[in-house]
């Protein structure tokens, strides 16, 4: 028994196949992060550029001084974890020069937390000079109760 496919059936199959092929491309979501930073800070701009080069959709809002400090504290960043810029991504706060790999891990694991922080401005962290000359630093997970724990460590280069 031979089956015949009509021209209409063939066109419907071809249309369905083209839609199915497009679905994976449409499913690729670029993580969106909103960053508050001093408009004159070069290392903050370098960190934003790293995020963009890694596929993040970044929006930047200029902020400085007490307004920026208040934003950090109001969003659960403990004073001892403060750095120069602050991002918000998918309900999490990202404070300072946090590496992209740690942001992606945070989004994959989804811990019940405020977010991540790299306090201060360690040399060789993303946006702070060459990684080949990096000083050791740690990325901290900030818990909702304000406590922190080491999320990842980077040894000196």
- The CATH number of whichever domain residue 77 belongs to comes to 3.40.30
**What pLDDT is stored for residue 2 in this prediction?**
53
pLDDT of residue 65: 92
The answer to whether position 78 is within a domain reads yes
Residue 71 to residue 121: CA distance in whole angstroms = 19
Domain that holds residue 91: 30-154
**How many domains does one find in the chain?**
1
CA distance 122 to 111: 25
Q: Is 80 inside any structural domain?
A: yes
Q: What is the dihedral of CA 102, 108, 113, 117, to 10 degrees?
A: 10
Beta-sheet strand order (sheet of 113-118): 57-62, 32-37, 86-89, 92-96, 113-118, 137-143, 148-154
pLDDT digits (tens), the chain, 157 positions: 555 555 554 444 444 444 444 444 444 577 899 999 999 988 999 999 999 999 999 999 999 999 999 999 999 999 999 999 999 999 999 999 999 999 999 999 999 999 999 999 999 999 999 999 999 999 999 999 999 999 999 999 9
The DSSP code sequence of 36-56 is EE-TT-HHHHHHHHHHHHTT-
CA-to-CA separations, 138 to 15, 29, 35, 61, in angstroms, rounded: 51, 28, 21, 26
16 falls within a domain: no
Does residue 114 lie in a domain region? yes
């Amino acid at each position: 028994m031979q089956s015949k496919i009509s021209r209409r059936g063939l066109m419907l199959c071809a249309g369905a196949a083209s839609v199915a092929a497009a679905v994976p491309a449409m499913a690729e979501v670029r993580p969106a992060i909103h960053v508050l930073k001093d408009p004159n800070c070069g290392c903050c701009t370098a960190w934003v550029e790293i995020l963009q080069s890694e596929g993040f959709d970044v929006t930047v809002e200029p902020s400085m001084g007490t307004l920026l400090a208040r934003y950090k504290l109001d969003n659960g960043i403990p004073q001892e974890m403060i750095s120069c810029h602050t991002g918000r991504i998918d309900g999490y706060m990202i404070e300072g020069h946090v590496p992209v790999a740690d942001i992606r891990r945070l989004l994959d694991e989804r811990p019940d937390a405020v977010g991540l922080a790299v306090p201060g401005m360690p040399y060789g962290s993303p946006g702070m000079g060459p990684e080949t000359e990096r000083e050791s630093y740690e990325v901290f997970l900030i818990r909702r109760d304000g406590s922190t724990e080491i999320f990842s460590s980077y040894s000196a280069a």
